[in-house]
Amino acid sequence: MCCRVGVTIMSEKVKLEIYRYNPEQDDKPYMQSFEVPVEKPGMKLLDALNYIKWHLDGSLTYRRSCGEGVCGSDGLNINGVNGLGCITAIEGLKQPIQVRPLPSMDVVRDLVVDMQHFFDQYKQIKPWLQSSTPKPEHERLQSPDERAELDGSYECILCGCCTTSCPSWWWNGDRFLGPAALLQANRWLKDSRDDATGERLDDLEDSFKLYRCHQIMNCMEACPKALNPTKAINDIKRSLAKRKV
């Protein structure tokens, strides 16, 4: 039974259309079609990209590492929605599967985009612990409740799926920090061990850095870790409002 299922699946093929751009050869990007056999049940999009690279066209360029949704390397635009190639199942995707790089980014080659600005924005929110208390001998302790405050923030893998799905960031990405950086900003605001809340809020109180969010919620829809950056941004806005009262 198992083998018969295997054979049936082996004979199936999936059609893909992939965004190609080689700066050394191409004047402009184009879409290239491929057909890939379904090698195993539960095959993921990354498996199909690997098949193309290993068997059909070795020049196809994309980022990947862990292959299981932890490293955040293979953020892609898949059939119009951002997600991770390694955890997006081929099954259920409309064919031909349109694979493009993350939106509104400078394309380095094929599916590889320049993430420099994205990580610069992450750096802007100072994603490290700022404490005014003396360094303890061991770790800084938190109660279970204080630790639970970080749920929904710490899971972020900085894949960029949310930020590059945001129309506000497409238009104002030079100044609007974007969902990923703001989710992390909120993570440090909520951390009981951090003493720089005031300075962090001062830095965020800006009509562009924070308030370009118009609750479009593409970030929440795109997040492969099922997080909610829109809620995090609203939390920051409320923290700013509360300290004025």
Partner 1 sequence: MKMNNKQPPLSPHLPIYKWRLTMFASIAHRMSGVFLVLTMPMAFWLLLSMSHGKIMYAYGLSWLQSSTGTVLLWLMCVALFYHLINGIRFLLLDIGKTDSREAMKLSAKIVVFSTIIFALVLAVKI
User: Could you tell me if 16 and 33 are in contact, meaning their C-beta atoms sit under 8 angstroms apart?
Assistant: yes
In the complex, least distance from residue 124 CB atom to partner 1, rounded to whole angstroms: 22
User: Could you tell me if 180 and 158 are in contact, meaning their C-beta atoms sit under 8 angstroms apart?
Assistant: yes
Q: In the numeric block, which tokens belong to residue 22?
A: 């080689």
Cβ neighbors of 180 (< 8 A, separation 6 or more) are: 118, 121, 122, 156, 158, 160, 162, 163, 219, 229
In the complex, least distance from residue 2 CB atom to partner 1, rounded to whole angstroms: 36
Q: Tell me: does residue 24 bind partner 1 (CB under 8 A).
A: yes
Q: In the numeric block, which tokens belong to residue 139?
A: 């770790």
**What's the full length of the chain, in residues?**
245
Cα 193 from chain centre: 27
Among 167, 175, 199, 206, binds partner 1 (CB under 8 A): 167
Backbone angles phi, psi at 78, to 5 degrees: -110, 115
Window of 116-124, 126-134, 163-171, 200-208 that interacts with partner 1 by CB under 8 A: 163-171
Window of 61-69, 85-93, 99-107, 117-125 that interacts with partner 1 by CB under 8 A: 99-107
Q: Tell me: does residue 19 bind partner 1 (CB under 8 A).
A: yes
Among 25, 33, 133, 143, binds partner 1 (CB under 8 A): 25
Q: Tell me: does residue 174 bind partner 1 (CB under 8 A).
A: no
Please state whether beta strands 30-37 and 97-100 pair in parallel, antiparallel, or not at all (unpaired): unpaired
In the complex, least distance from residue 240 CB atom to partner 1, rounded to whole angstroms: 12
Positions that interact with partner 1 (CB under 8 A)? 19, 21, 23-25, 28-29, 77, 79-81, 98, 100-108, 113-114, 164-165, 167, 170, 214-218, 220-221, 226, 228, 230-231, 234-235, 237-238
